């Protein structure tokens, strides 16, 4: 069956804070807006348990912040399509094409705010235990481990936030990191004060074991050289991220996986903008993602207006 073709003024790829902010601003300009998200709305920030550096909030969870911005965007007419995978894009076409499993969308402008994916656990057994004990989304899969032993791998804010979140389910939780923690002191202290949690630093995970699902991991204490096997029911991996830009690599030249675009968020293709963590830039914070979304949407609106005036003149 032939897919339905639907026209939108702006298609936004990704529903993190950059994408949702872009949807809010584009909607306010009376543009027809579609946001495509192949995972959960909110992206990496959705599972943050306590955000304390976003203006206007003393403290807010990632879930609450995302829900608020999503509601604002939808109030201005933006349509948010969750779990609709994109199969191909044609960004240089006129109109631009974004094809999903369900539809072919034609767009006058495209904003890429596709964020980043978590780096895979670099062990040979990872594929065997993927979704059978090895996970990358605590918000999606944490509930599966009620009263179980959970390990979190990583030492940055994402890992510590994940560990704090997962303590609501865990009978026992281990945070395992090969070096020292890089997370902010407030989040680390919160975890240290939790009686369920134990932090294992200077510790490597060397192997995974289990019959049909993960049952244990082999640990190496780098300081002492001691090896031991630790029984766990699940491990949530937070060891860095890679930009989610593979879909655009044939049409946009990437830099270390990210999309080169200035502070105006314009890419090398007219009418295509990059916002948030996929854009090549020095500082990546929630506030800078929101700023990118604002800029991209307003300049996308300007691009569409100019294109239409030019077409009318001819």
Domain-by-domain residue ranges, the chain? 4-117+241-313, 120-237
- Domain with residues 4-117+241-313, CATH architecture: 3-Layer(bba) Sandwich (3.50)
* pLDDT 10s digits, 77-129: 999 998 889 999 999 999 999 999 999 999 999 999 999 888 899 999 999 99
CATH of 120-237, one of 3.40.50.1970, 3.40.50.1950, 3.50.50.60, 3.30.465.10: 3.50.50.60
Question: Which position among 81, 84, 103, 137 bears the catalytic label?
Answer: 137
Cβ atoms < 10 Å from Cβ of 250: 10
Question: Which position among 81, 84, 103, 140 bears the catalytic label?
Answer: 140
Q: Give how far Cα 8 sits from Cα of 3, 35, 95, Å.
A: 16, 10, 10
Q: What is the mean pLDDT of residues 256-284?
A: 96
pLDDT over 90, % of the chain: 83
Q: Do domains 4-117+241-313 and 120-237 have the same CATH topology?
A: yes
Give the Cα separation of 99 and 102 in Å (integer). 8
Query: For residues 209-227, b (16+ Cβ closer than 10 Å) or e, as one string?
Result: ebeeebebbebbeeeeeee
Give the Cα separation of 206 and 235 in Å (integer). 13
Residue 137 bears catalytic tag? yes
Residue 140 bears catalytic tag? yes
Question: Which position among 81, 84, 141, 218 bears the catalytic label?
Answer: 141
Q: What is the pTM of this model?
A: 0.76
């Amino acid at each position: 069956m032939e897919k339905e073709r639907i026209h939108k003024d702006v298609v936004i790829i990704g529903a993190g804070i950059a994408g949702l902010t872009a949807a809010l601003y584009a909607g306010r300009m009376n543009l027809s807006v579609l946001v495509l998200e192949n995972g959960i709305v909110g992206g990496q920030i959705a599972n943050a348990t306590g955000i304390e550096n976003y203006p206007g909030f003393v403290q807010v969870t990632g879930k609450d912040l995302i829900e608020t911005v999503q509601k604002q965007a939808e109030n201005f007419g933006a349509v948010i399509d969750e779990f609709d995978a994109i199969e191909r894009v044609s960004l240089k076409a006129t109109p631009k094409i974004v094809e999903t499993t369900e539809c072919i969308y034609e767009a006058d402008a495209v904003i890429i705010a596709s964020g980043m994916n978590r780096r895979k656990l670099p062990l040979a057994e990872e594929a065997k235990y993927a979704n059978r004990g090895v996970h990358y989304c605590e918000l999606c899969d944490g509930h599966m481990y009620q009263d179980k032993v959970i390990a979190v791998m990583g030492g940055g804010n994402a890992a510590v936030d994940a560990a704090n979140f997962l303590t609501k389910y865990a009978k026992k939780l281990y945070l395992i990191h090969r070096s020292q923690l890089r997370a902010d002191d407030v989040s680390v202290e919160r975890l240290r004060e939790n009686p369920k949690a134990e932090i294992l630093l200077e510790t490597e995970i060397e192997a995974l074991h289990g019959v049909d699902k993960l049952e244990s991991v082999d640990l190496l204490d780098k300081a002492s050289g001691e090896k031991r096997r630790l029984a766990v029911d699940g491990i949530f991996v937070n060891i860095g991220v890679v930009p989610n830009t593979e879909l655009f690599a044939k049409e946009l030249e990437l830099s270390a996986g990210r999309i080169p675009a200035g502070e105006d968020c314009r890419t090398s293709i007219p009418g295509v903008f990059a916002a948030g963590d996929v854009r090549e830039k020095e500082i990546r914070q929630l506030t800078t993602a929101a700023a990118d979304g604002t800029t991209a949407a307003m300049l996308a609106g300007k691009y569409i207006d100019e294109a239409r005036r030019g077409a009318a003149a001819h």
